[in-house]
Amino acid sequence: MPKVEFLQSFDALVIGSGLAGQSLALRLADTHRVVLVTKRMIDDSATNQAQGGIAAVLDGTDSVESHIQDTLTAGAGLCDPVATRFVVERGHAAIDWLIAQGVPFTRSDTGYHLTREGGHSARRVIHVADATGASVQQTLSQKVRQHPNITVLERHIVVDLITGAKLGHKTQRCWGAYVLDIDNERVLTLGAPNTVIASGGAGKSYLYTSNPDTATGDGIAMAWRAGCRVANMEFIQFHPTCLHHPQAKSFLITEAMRGEGGILRLPDGTRFMLAHDERAELAPRDIVARAIDYEMKRHGLDCVYLDMTHKGESFMRGHFPNIYARCLELGIDIARQPIPVVPAAHYTCGGIVVDLAARTDVPGLYALGEAACTGLHGANRLASNSLLECVVFSAAAAADMLAQKPAKLPKLPCWDESRVTDADEEIVISHNWDELRRFMWDYVGIVRTNKRLERARHRIRLLEKEITEFYSNFRVSNDLIELRNLVQTAHLIVECALQRKESRGLHFSRDYPETLPRARNTILKPRP
């Protein structure tokens, strides 16, 4: 039987251990006691899987204005110009901070090596070979583990936020969270005047995804329940090139391969991207993903192929050593054979509405990274802007917290399990999870229709009733918490998609194929 315990209070509670969460924790830790909560181990994050790199203006031939324009173009008219400039102008400082932490970015004869990715007009992506995220994660994780002011709670999942409404207060404020210790089956009460959601996106809402298993929309769902607005959830970016192989779970073939000359081909060798966009393989991700989806459906294909064979073995080993080695393990010599690829759900461009200090609608609650909607990504994220956003907004959030006077925590009640029992049919959870991911893929995927969206909404409402009953009667578990959050997040995706009566960026509707003259955000507000 799960135990209920009160742990202790901290100055800041950080939910999530990717680049956004870790960089914020490190910026606060010299003066604040920080607790960092992560569902699995500290390295299990989307950051750790990021291959390409981080976009920033680092070369004299590049410019801030060019990076801004590329971002606005990729965002299909929906990027917030102020937020975009805010991030891009701070790009160089963000990279300098990572270098100061010890991230070993790949060098060239003249400095750091910069590559180019789809949608960028210049080489501005700094990287660590083809495993940038893993290197960044390892560098910061070591510092986080060693810092005396940071407590790391691995294999802990947040059940829900503790807000003023739950405490019976007139003012709605966040005071921390209830957290399930997965291994010891105990619910902890973590109090903090500053709570930060940096828990990643919601790729696991879909059957095929590049995301880690932790990407279950937890932060977005709990913020919505706490009273925060969410925006633009219909814009789910599908990465065009996920390795298609039965033994390769969620393995991405980086955007940088197309930036370095990769060609997309049909099984018979025909190049097809020029028929879809004059930028061919360097078009933004939404265009490339739709083109692959179109060709696969038109020809009845299981996949298409990314051809790098013209670059030679030495180039592939030098520029993409990890991808080369992984594919070779699976029997694919990418220096001599094209790579089988398919699109997969990759990045949640919308999320919790925040300002330029990463503050949400609920005082004391911040949101960073993929869980947040800062206005940078618009209707389609430009490649390699996401890690940059993490560093820039973690710095902004830290500055905002450091400028505040300390808030006194109220008395926080422990988690009440007196009226629930142990679940006797865990199979219900796994069946519901599988059903959700399949109909989201079929009905709310790369190409959408009103009929498909309405079907998804109907199925979600049925699942919500089942899960609410399950959640009300049985003790919480990791699987139940994740399923509850996934269904809530899927609901938000579908509702946003139904409200958008046009095709823009990552949202393509057969019923509304045209793009409206004026770009508007889709903003959902919880009922009081």
User: Catalytic residues, which ones?
Assistant: 285
Q: In sequence order, what are the residues at sequence separation of 6 or more whose Cβ sits closer than 8 angstroms to the Cβ of residue 51?
A: 130, 131, 132, 133, 252, 254, 255, 256, 322, 323
Residues 365 and 528: their CA atoms lie apart, in Å, by 18
Q: How far apart are alpha carbons 346 and 288 in whole angstroms?
A: 13
How far is Cα 403 from Cα 514, in angstroms, rounded to an integer? 46
Phi, psi of 53 (to 5 degrees): 155, -155
Do the beta carbons of residue 205 and residue 439 sit within 8 Å?
A: no
The pairing of beta strand 372-373 with beta strand 174-181 = unpaired
Q: Tell me if 237 sits within 8 A of 501, measured CB to CB.
A: no
Report the alpha-carbon distance of residue 21 to residue 394 in Å, rounded: 8
Q: At residue 285, what are phi and psi to the nearest 5 degrees?
A: -60, -40
The Cα–Cα gap between 255 and 380 comes to 15
Q: How far apart are CA 63 and CA 83, in angstroms?
A: 17
Neighbours of 336 (CB within 10 A): 11
For the chain, what percentages of helix, strand and coil (3-state, to nearest 5) are there?
Answer: 40, 20, 40
Strands 304-307 and 339-348: antiparallel
Instruction: Please state the φ and ψ torsions of residue 471, each to the nearest 5 degrees.
Output: -65, -35
